A and B are shown apart, each in its own frame.
Chain A
Amino acid sequence: MSWAYIQQAMPDYIKAFWLRLKLSTIGIAGAVLVGIVAAFIIYYKIPGHRIILSYIEIARNTPLLIQLFFIYYGLPITGIKIPAQQTAIIGLVFLGGAYMSDAFLGGLRAVPKIQIESGRAIGLSTFQLSRFVVFPQGFIFSLPALAANVIFLIKETSIFTVIAIPEITNTTLDLIGQNYRTNEYLLMMVSSYAVILIPLSVFLSWIERRIRYANFGN
């Protein structure tokens, strides 16, 4: 272990850290948005929900690595050339949207039928019902799955290395290849993931506990 190497690599890591934060924030926000929309379309069986269902199957059942390869190395042949960072975000939204819609759908389906019936009984429209009854309750139920997905998606950003985005994994592999200090760089890599993910993971268990108690009342 050499402190000097760690110090020297610090600026690179800080840059990589912010880049990852940026990409995952945009990507996850987009995924949440796609997820909410997709979940509602399926929940209400709005026309086109079959297309959404196929999208979910495709996105969930193929690796992000291949999705990125396909967009980054495959698509240019057809004339569509998307820069690396945009490719990364598209990939994350595409993959994450499917996982998020699952989380939200699970939440929506956990809302008791009686709630919807009483909403209808007081004359709420479908939109009002969603806005005031179904979504607020369903969101709470979907929180554990949502948080788990966030952790999963942040971890997935390590795959961006294959399209040459200088995020943390890429930087690490690069520095290892140049300076051959594998121990130091892997340590930095793991800790820069831990900085974000450990608080998230603790938060996840916390809401899971809260929801369990809220649910069963003991």
Chain B
Amino acid sequence: MNKIRKIILLLSATIVISVIGSQLLTVKAEASQNGRSVKQIKKAGEIKIAVFGDLKPYGWVDKNGKRQGYDIELAKQIAKDLGVKVKYVQVNANARVDALNSGKVDLALANFTVTPEREKVIDFAKPYMKVSIGVASKKTNLITKVSQLDGKNLIVNKGTTAETYFTKNYTKANLLKFDSKTQQFAALKDGRADAITDDNSYLFAWVKSHSDYQVGIKKLGTQSYVSPGIQKGNKSLLTWTNSEINRLNQSNFFEKDYNKTLAPFFGDDVKSSDITITK
């Protein structure tokens, strides 16, 4: 009796230790200071890409657990052209830069808007989408001018260009800062704030499935561009991605991507040319 118990104990200990061992021994020291080159990625047979998991229709997970969206289509295409598999790393907006710079991912395809501040810390490849900041609110209490936000509660997502805009250019609104898209939209629906600000493109998509809301302010600030983010100094991957985007533009990939992933979610007030970049 005692012996059996000892054997079981020993066995389970062995299993646990081997699991731990395999977990800890796979510590990889492959990431250099500048990230993995295209050659290294190809050799590893896998590219790690940061995506959103809760941003319909750009990067989200459907009911079968499959990742879907505009960014995901691009990720798949890039992996295909590199001849490797994709490993998705789900991130929140404010973790994108750190995920790149700590080598957790090779590429960020997470609605990453190019800004001067970001360009100081990471590299951007050529843009694949146009975007500006928008503000959505309830139809019954529609916000159409920024001045209407004075002293009102405004929902932002941490680490987005919309947040930066309202922190630097217009400071009279009271910002509620959330970590994830799920949380920010949930808070809006619960009526925790008067309006939400984020990239206009997915505000358009969101209001389409929430008919009592409307994008009252369609464009704020200047037109911005969304690009793949790459760790600072990773020349090899940057060059490759730039030529990849050129290639995809020539083959009308982005328009097809738009029609497949975005069009079903957008209202009539958005056209393919509002989002994609043809040149």
Contact = CB atoms under 8 A, between A and B. Distances in A.
Interface of A: 72-73, 76, 81, 83-84, 161-164, 166, 170, 173-174, 176-180, 182
Contact of B183 (A76, A162, A177, A178): A162
B94 A164 contact: no
Interface residues of B, number: 27
A180 B97 contact: yes
Interface stretch (B40-48, B131-139, B187-195): B187-195
A162 B178 CA distance: 7
A180 B183 CA distance: 22
Contacts of B155: 164
Given A164-B177, A164-B178, A180-B121, A174 B94 contact: yes
Given A174-B159, A178-B163, A178-B167, A73 B187 contact: yes
Contact of A178 (B98, B164, B189, B190): B164
B44 to A, nearest CB: 26
Task: State the main secondary structure of chain A at its contact with B.
Answer: helix
Contacts of B164: 178
Contacts of B94: 173-174, 176-178
Contacts of A162: 179, 183
A72 B190 CA distance: 9
Given A76-B191, A178-B163, A178-B167, A166 B97 contact: no
Contacts of B189: 76
B126 interface: no
B260 interface: no
A76 B192 CA distance: 10
Contacts of B177: 164, 166, 170, 174
Contacts of A161: 179
B117 A73 contact: no
Contact of B158 (A73, A76, A177, A182): A177
